[in-house]
Amino acid sequence: MANKKKLEIRRQGVEAQNTWRKENSDAKLDVLKLPEQERAEYERYQDNLHYRASMVHSSYYLGKKEGKGEGRAEGEQQKAVEIANNLIDVLDDETIAEKTGLSVEKIARIREEQLR
């Protein structure tokens, strides 16, 4: 009976477990002493926790990688605009567009902004 209670406390989450541990610091869950069905439930619960943690970890690093890619693209775009600004008074719009990868329309807008 006590093992069922401990198993239920585990299912309630970390805060409930921590509270229970503080109140019952001498008690331990002995998984090997659980009946076979309860042990299987406990192992499924543990597997589920590991799976969730893995999904969070994977999602975090995928998001981080995606964010770095977006940041890199933004940085490249800013650098191209900076180069275009420096070449406006030296080259024509088509040449600047070719060298920076920006559109001719974007170069024309940059030129207009500099003239203001």
Structural domain includes residue 5: no
What does the pLDDT look like over 9-44, one tens digit per residue? Answer: 778 888 887 787 788 777 676 777 778 888 888 888
Amino acid at 12: Q
- Domain count for the chain, please give it: 1
Structural domain includes residue 109: yes
Structural domain includes residue 58: yes
Structural domain includes residue 16: no
- Domain residues for the domain of 111 are 35-115
Whole-number Å distance between alpha carbons of 16 and 18: 6
The pair of three-digit structure tokens given for residue 36, joined into one six-digit string: 């076979």
CA distance from start to end of the chain = 81
User: Is the pTM of the predicted complex or chain greater than 0.85?
Assistant: no
